[in-house]
Amino acid sequence: MSRIDWDAATAEAVGLLREYLRIDTSNPPGNEALAVEFLAGILRAEGIPCDIADSAPGRSNLFARLGPPSGGVCLLNHTDVVPVEREYWSVDPFGGELSDGMIWGRGALDMKGMGILELMTFLLLKRHGVELRESVTFLAAADEEAGSRFGVSWIEQHRPAWMDTDLVINEGAYGLTSSRGPQVFQVAPTEKVPLWVKLIVRGRPGHGSVPHGDNCAEHLVRALERVTRWQRELRIVPVMRAHIQAMLAAGMTKAATDEEALAEAGRSPSLRARLSNTVTVTTITTGIKVNVIPAEATATLDCRLLPDAGVDGFLNELRAVLADERVEVEVLNRFTGAGSTMDTRFVRVVGEVVAELVEGAHVAPEMTSGFTDSRVYRLRGVPAYGFVPCLLQPEELAGVHGHNERISVENIRLGLQVLYEVVRRLVTAEG
């Protein structure tokens, strides 16, 4: 087995990522077939067969396997990205620009960057003739950003053999670093549970010059104001208590007690989001013309619940806060939460590799505030973990679903080295 030239591997990964970022897979509409065509071409050029399945026109999913015919490790990624507001970007969001050691573009972090790290890990195992005791699969799925209807949820129903694995490595937890020096690689065994809700108010239309006291838009505005003032309980679930303790040991927080952690959450939106059920107003729609009182007004709420929260109880609380019988609550998406244990060989191998490759770095459990495709596997009883082995500054993390998303070449190299070594140890006799 030959040694890996990490300079060459990094350069190749950077080149592939730049090409990948130029493929616009904004969801909606997705057009993931374009991404799958790109990935399939790379795999086939390496002599690796792959299967492609279309869940709808233009919505493709891709699967490939190395080694034994079942079980093993699944390298899971999604090919769609969230839309952009181009006017707020300082570069072309689909240009794949490389500047000052940073690769810019929608998906650099979420999650085409990780997808390329997984793809390169897959290719390096094949190229270097690594003898696999367990299989490694590469699964590129559509539609994660919109709920996975055309991706992993579809795959579960129509290509269940693709989900035959013993372990899933996916997005969901990035490594963190700061100017003060601490470095923490995070592993997420669970995540917040999404609940998407639509509020609907109907009323009597009329001429804008004659207010009649039954304006549906005004009802909605008053209800939303009550929602935004809703103070929800902060509480520390077990995985977050372990997270805070690990961050304390790493020097990334000074919170030594639950009380101090709750106080810190008051200053940190990121921590607060993982210690409470959250509600975010995301869209508001009403009216057809400036001088017409509308007949209907709607808003959507992106609610994310702690893993042990009851959905029905939360909805009852929401209705009480809205305090207006005219406001109809329609559930758009209702998910079920699940988690994996941190007491696994995977977590132990991550700890070993991080200790060897990154001096002084720590490993911390994490709870993903967003949702990922891992939830589908966890509900099937398959351990699934968020683990993106790159070390990001807070301003870089802001690019996830934000503007000027980017990842450094240095992080591509680090992530590739760590991910490859973790996977290699998991699937070979040496591991």
User: Does any domain span residue 343?
Assistant: yes
Distance, C-alpha 3 to centroid of its chain? 33
User: Does any domain span residue 263?
Assistant: yes
What pLDDT score was predicted for residue 251? 94
pLDDT higher than 70, residue 226: yes
Give the model confidence (pLDDT) of 285-326 as tens digits: 999 999 999 999 999 999 999 999 999 999 999 999 999 999
| 257 plus 330 within the same structural domain | yes
| 313 plus 344 within the same structural domain | no
Cα 132 to Cα 244: distance, rounded to the nearest angstrom = 37
Cβ neighbours, 10 Å, residue 47:
8
Tell me which of 270, 305, 334 is where a domain ends: 334
User: Does any domain span residue 199?
Assistant: no
User: Does any domain span residue 328?
Assistant: yes
Q: What is the CA radius of gyration of the chain?
A: 23
Range of the domain at 315: 204-334
User: Does any domain span residue 198?
Assistant: no
Question: Residue 178: which pLDDT band, with cuts at 50, 70 and 90?
Answer: confident
Question: Residue 430: which pLDDT band, with cuts at 50, 70 and 90?
Answer: low
Total domain count for the chain? 2
**Positive or negative: CA dihedral 71, 76, 79, 81:** positive
Cα 349 to Cα 422: distance, rounded to the nearest angstrom = 6
User: Does any domain span residue 133?
Assistant: yes
Tell me which of 334, 369, 394 is where a domain ends: 334
Full strand arrangement of the beta sheet holding 296-305: 278-286, 296-305, 193-202, 328-334
| 37 plus 117 within the same structural domain | yes
What pLDDT score was predicted for residue 431? 55
Tell me which of 283, 308, 334 is where a domain ends: 334
- The structure's pTM equals 0.94
Give the model confidence (pLDDT) of 242-276 as tens digits: 999 999 999 999 999 999 999 999 999 999 999 99
